[in-house]
Structure 1
């Protein structure tokens, strides 16, 4: 069996790395990796951490690239790759423009598509934008839907003539793998610590990440204003700055050289894991960071008006804070006070996975029977959670 995996961004690389490593040990499959280069440096950096090298690198990233321009280049390039590779199945992950291009290019050639992390939904195509539209389209195209949670699988209940399996999230596998490496590889641990900024020990440490396209403009400025006021009070904030100019410009203009705020370049995944471990509270609009925080037992405030990871909210691991300045400040103050009174410890079981998602995904890709991931004692799958008012 010949599989071709198509990825383009850092989150895809991290979440597919455990799957690709597992596929590499299977004699029954020829596994090939094609990267679009949607995120050039961040993608390569993330794959290198997991000792993975792409078989095909399209190097499509261009300065000031538009979504449509990148998608058009990706479709043409991937069409050529598929004609040359002739895979039995194409595997894509998540909801990026690279994932959409990989799925649609395969569909145009009648090649079956497996979608890892299928079924995430807000049912609002403007939030997250454009990811909600992308993942709904990919799920319509794919015939094999590998959902990370029961809630995600429940969103696929109308799918016909499709294989749906709850696997757990492979991002949890990636965190577990990195934790193992950090525990046994002193060189990696020292490199990860060296990549982190100096951290104060006398104030609560907050890790913030912002990158969502639907927050460009006023919502992002509101978040930055909240972070400035929080840092002027009782906490220190570390913020890895996303390289997109629509993010980096406002973030640096509002937050650079502010007391209590440390702006850093995007961190390698091992350093990011170490920083989450050190942080008292996570403020993020990233789905992957929400999952990492839950895996590492850290509370998270979600800087969005709706979350497609309702499992964390239902488990008490996350709270929806929105993007308005006063709301973010109030939620942060409330969470810090709660942590002062009752520190949060890691939750078991993790609603996002048990570290064996890649095993289930590989078994499903090879057509082998595999039991679904289940969270013991879980209630009915939660629905997307939104702020009201």
Structure 2
């Protein structure tokens, strides 16, 4: 059985790397890895960390490329690869433009598609954009749906996906997390080397989504500024996204503040270990909502909705919205109410136990052998 895995961004690579390793180690499976390099440098960092060498690299990244250009370049680039390899199944992940385009390219070659992290929905096609429609359309092309949770399975059933095509596996991001977090981890970043993690409470921040650019981001950073001003034992670490608009807003509101550290983006392993040493997380990221609860870290999500409501229901995550006052009040509660903190920190992570990749490979062996 030949299984091709296709991904192109850092988040995909993080979540698919442990699955590729599992495929490589499984007898009877010929594993082929193709990357599109939708994100070049950040993708390469993950490949190096997990010691993966692609069999094919489409290397499509260009400055200021549009979504349409990414889609067309992946479609054209994969056509020759798929015709040459003729895999039994192509595995794609989540909701990137690479994901959708790779699923479409496989469909054009009449090759089965396996969708890892299937069934996530906000039911708003422009939030997140373009991710919501990428995953919905990929779902319509997929033959195997690897859903992290029961809620994801129910979403797919409501959309008419046959029950025998859906498999609850947990999320592969937990598999990856357990491979890279190390309690005595030593940071290389100069700023992080100076942080007193033992005696200060560290809040890690990530904020980058398109829908948060502008007024929303100003509100979010305004709340963070208030927290830093009020709580003298708090250190705030924000690995800033490379988007110039994000950096401009962050620098305008947060630059030069005591105990607020605006640093360059971190590679995957140091970032996961930063989360492990943090008191709680403020984020608009999807993956962090899955990862941080496995580390016992409360998460405040600075968005109006989330495609990961399981974490909210489990109590590990709270939707803080994008209004300054609400973000500030929820942060203040975690910093001043030990009971509220403990409830979030000790809740069970609904996204799995670190064995999702094994379950996916088992399904493929049973269905395709």
Task: List aligned pairs for 1:166-315, cutoff 5 A.
Answer: 166-179=168-181, 182=182, 189-190=185-186, 196-201=192-197, 202-234=199-231, 235-315=234-314
Deviation for aligned residue 1:269: 1.9
The residue that corresponds to 2:327 in the other structure is 328
Q: 1:217 to 1:16 in 2, by over 3 A?
A: same
Counterparts of 1:210 and 1:149, CA distance in 2 = 25
User: TM-score, normalising length from structure 2?
Assistant: 0.92
Deviation for aligned residue 1:27: 2.3
The residue that corresponds to 1:5 in the other structure is 5
The residue that corresponds to 2:51 in the other structure is 51
Counterparts of 1:223 and 1:82, CA distance in 2 = 44
Deviation for aligned residue 1:119: 0.2
The residue that corresponds to 1:376 in the other structure is none
User: Which ranges in structure 1 are unaligned for 5 or more consecutive residues?
Assistant: 370-389
Number of residues paired by the alignment?
363
Per-residue deviation, residues 45-100 of structure 1 (Å, max 9, x unmatched)? 11211111211111111112221222222221112221222222110001011111
Counterparts of 1:195 and 1:100, CA distance in 2 = 38
Which structure carries more helix by proportion? 2
User: Which ranges in structure 2 are unaligned for 5 or more consecutive residues?
Assistant: none
Local SS of the residue matching 2:31: strand
Counterparts of 2:108 and 2:163, CA distance in 1 = 18
Counterparts of 2:188 and 2:178, CA distance in 1 = 16
Local SS of the residue matching 2:166: strand
Counterparts of 2:18 and 2:72, CA distance in 1 = 29
Deviation for aligned residue 1:7: 0.5
Counterparts of 1:332 and 1:368, CA distance in 2 = 47
Task: List aligned pairs for 1:330-345, cutoff 5 A.
Answer: 330-339=329-338, 343=342
The residue that corresponds to 2:161 in the other structure is 159
Deviation for aligned residue 1:367: 2.3
User: TM-score, normalising length from structure 1?
Assistant: 0.88
Q: Is the 8 A contact 2:235 2:260 kept in 1?
A: yes
Q: Is the 8 A contact 1:197 1:264 kept in 2?
A: no
